[in-house]
Amino acid sequence: MADPIPAADAAPAAGHEAPAAGQEVPAGPPPRVLPLVLLYTLGRVAIAVGLIALVWFVGLPGFPALLFGVLLQMPLSYVLLRPLRDKLALALVARREIRKAAREDLRARLAGSEPTPE
């Protein structure tokens, strides 16, 4: 098995956090990104629904309850869903590294610098 790729060497995709210092991108097949995105989205929606219900139950009616619930879920989900967001960032970095290596391999084969195995 290959050595893990240090996360510090890879910059995160736009809009995503870099993995925490000391974390490494695991070697091997990258984790699937879609389940992590869906789980993160579901977590944010669940937090928002819970806060909207709480604000509505406290006595703020309709649309203001919706606005306050959505505004309050942003910082809460940022704190509560950090481990999931970190896993997602690692999965995206690993996926990018694999695609980058495949692209470099293809360019090398097209340039003729490496013979293709037959």
Q: For residue range 18-60, what is the model confidence (pLDDT) as tens digits?
A: 555 555 555 667 678 999 999 999 999 999 999 999 999 998 8
Rounded mean pLDDT, 93-101: 91
Instruction: Write the single-letter amino acid at 66.
Output: L
Distance CA 67, CA 62 (A): 9
Do the Cβ atoms of 52 and 60 come closer than 8 Å?
A: no
Domain residue spans in the chain?
32-108
End-to-end CA distance of the chain: 24
Per-residue pLDDT at 118: 56
Q: How far is 84 from 78, CA to CA, in rounded Å?
A: 10
Put simply, whether the predicted model's pTM sits higher than 0.75 gets the answer no
Percent of the chain residues topping a pLDDT of 70: 70
Neighbours of 90 (CB within 10 A): 23
